Amino acid sequence: MRADHLRIMDKETDDDMQDLTRRGFLGAAGVSVAGALGLATTGSTTAAPRPGNVSPAIDPTVWREHGTPLVAPTGHGLLAGKTVAVKDLYSIRGHRVGAGNTVWLSQSQPSAVTAPSVAALLAAGASIAGISRTDEFAYSLAGTNGHYGTPPNPQAPDRIPGGSSSGSASAVSLHEATIGLGTDTGGSIRIPSSYQGLYGIRTTHGAISTDGLLPLAPSFDTVGWMTRTRADLVATTAALAPGLPASLDVSLVYSDDIINVAGPDVAPAVRAGIKRLRTRIPVRSIAFDISVLPQWVKAFQTRQGWEAWQAHGRWISRHWDSLNPDVRSRFETASKVTTSDLAAADRVLATARDRINRALGDAVLLLPSASSTAPTRASAAIGGGVIEDTRARTFQLTCLAGIVGRPAVSNPLPSAGPPVGLCAVGPRGSDLALAALPVV
C-alpha cells in the first residue's frame, strides 16, 4: 500500500518508516513543494501543525488546510463544480498527511503523489476545498480530538459529530464542501452520516484502491464519502467506481432482533422508516441470532488491533504521550494481541462470514446505521464511559458489513429530534445501485 508522504526527521523514526515501506504500507518518501507544483494553498505546507493552514474564517476543528480551492480539478466530468473535503489520511501531492496527531504531522513531509481515489475526484471535475480533520489514526468512532478540538455537528449543535471521518462530515454538513471523502473500517462513514443526517457510503472492500491512504486495518479499510443529497452520492460513486450496475434485482430484508440492538432513540425511527418503505417496495423479515454479535465484535477488533499495531506500533511505542486517552488505550490493547489471539479471532470471523453470507445471500439488509443518536458533547469525554458504551453497541451493527466486505449506505431518516440513519447493506459490487436505492 503506497502513501508516499513521510520523511522523518530523526533516525529512529526514519527506521520505522523504512520498515513500513518494506512491508508495503508506505512508499518511498518524497518532498515536493506545493508552490513548485502549481497547487493552490493558503500557506506553507511546512508550517506548524496548530492551528493549521486555515484562514481565520475557517474552523480549525474542521479543516487542517483550506483553500479556494486548495487543489484545482484536473478534468471535467460528473463532478464538475463540486468541492471535496479530504480526510487527513490521504496523500495529496505537495501536502502533508497529519493523521489527526500533532507529532505525526510535525514529522511528515509533503507527499510526492496523490492517492488514486483523490486523483479520480479531480479528474471528474471536482476541486479540493481542503484537508479535513480526523480522529487520531482513524482509531475512533466519536469525532473527538484532544489536539484540535471536536468539529461541530450543525444538525445537532449540542452533540458530537461522529468519527473518525469527522471533519469531512462536518464540512459537508456546514455546506463548506459538496463531498466529504473519508474512510470506513468499523463505521467511520456510516456513523458521522447518521449523526449528522447525511448520505454516506462504505464501498465494497477492495473495490476502490487504498493506495496513498494511511492504513488502520487493511483487512477492513475502505474508501468512502458523504454528501447532503442522494444525487451527489450517486454521482460520486459513479465517478469513483465506474462500470458497476446502476440497478439491483434483489430483495430487501430486515431483522427485528438486529434493530433491537439500537436504543430507544433510534429503533422506533428505523422501524417507522421500514414501514413507510414497505408501502412502495416489498421488504421481508428474517431471523438473525444476535447473541453472537459481541463475540464477532471482539474478533473484528482483535484482527483490527493486530493490523493497526503492525502498521503503526513501532512509531506509537516511541510516542505514547502524543495520543489522546481513548486512542492510546486501543493501541495499548492492540500491542498485546498474540498470534494465538489472532488465530482464534480469524476462526470466529470465518464462521461469522459464512453465517452472514448465508443469511443474506444477495439481499439488501436494512438496519440502523448507529446504535444511538449522537451523544451530547457534555457527556462525550474522550475515552469516557458514554463514548465507550456507545462504541461497543454500535460496533455490533457496523461490524456486519465489515466482516463480509459488503458495501453499506447510510440514509438520513425523517426525525423530529437528532438525526438518525437507516443503513442498507448490499451484495459485493452493488455500490452504485445501493447508492441510488430510494430506501428513504
3-state class of 9 per DSSP?
Answer: coil
The whole-angstrom separation of Cα 422 and Cα 432 is 17
* 83-87/179-184 β-pairing: parallel
Q: Which residue has the cell 480530538?
A: 145
What are the residue ranges spanned by the domains of the chain?
11-240, 252-436
The domain over range 11-240 is classified in CATH as 3.90.1300.10: yes
Q: Let me know if the fold of 11-240 is the same as that of 252-436.
A: yes
Catalytically annotated residue among 188, 219, 415, 430: 188
- Rounded Cα–Cα distance for residues 326 and 387 (Å): 9
pLDDT tens for each residue of the chain, 440 residues long: 333 332 223 334 444 444 433 333 333 322 222 222 222 233 322 223 333 455 558 999 999 999 999 999 999 999 999 999 999 999 999 999 999 999 999 999 999 999 999 999 999 999 999 999 999 999 999 999 999 999 999 999 999 999 999 999 999 999 999 999 999 999 999 999 999 999 999 999 999 999 999 999 999 999 999 999 999 999 999 999 999 999 889 899 999 999 999 999 999 999 999 999 999 999 999 999 999 999 999 999 999 999 999 999 999 999 999 999 999 999 999 999 999 999 999 999 999 999 999 999 999 999 999 999 999 998 887 667 888 889 999 999 999 999 999 999 999 999 889 999 999 999 999 999 999 999 99
Helix (H, G, I), strand (E, B) or coil at 125: coil
Cβ neighbours around 55 below 10 Å, total: 12
Residue 243 — left, alpha, or beta (φ > 0 → left; ψ -120 to 50 → alpha)?
Answer: left
**Cell numbers given for 396:** 455490533
Our answer to whether residue 164 is catalytic in this structure is: yes
d(CA 177, CA 85): 6
Q: What is the DSSP string of 83-125?
A: EEEEETTB--BTS---TT-HHHHHH---BSS--HHHHHHHHTT
CATH number of the structural domain 252-436: 3.90.1300.10
Report yes or no: 164 and 135 within 8 Å, Cβ to Cβ.
Answer: yes
Cα distance between residue 190 and residue 335, in whole Å = 27
Q: Which helix (H) or strand (E) holds 391?
A: helix 385-404
Q: Annotated catalytic residue: which of 82, 87, 132, 430?
A: 87
Which of 91, 111, 164, 170 is catalytic? The answer is 164
DSSP letter (8 states) at residue 320: G
Asked if residues 268 and 420 have their Cβ atoms less than 8 Å apart, the reply is: no
pTM: 0.88
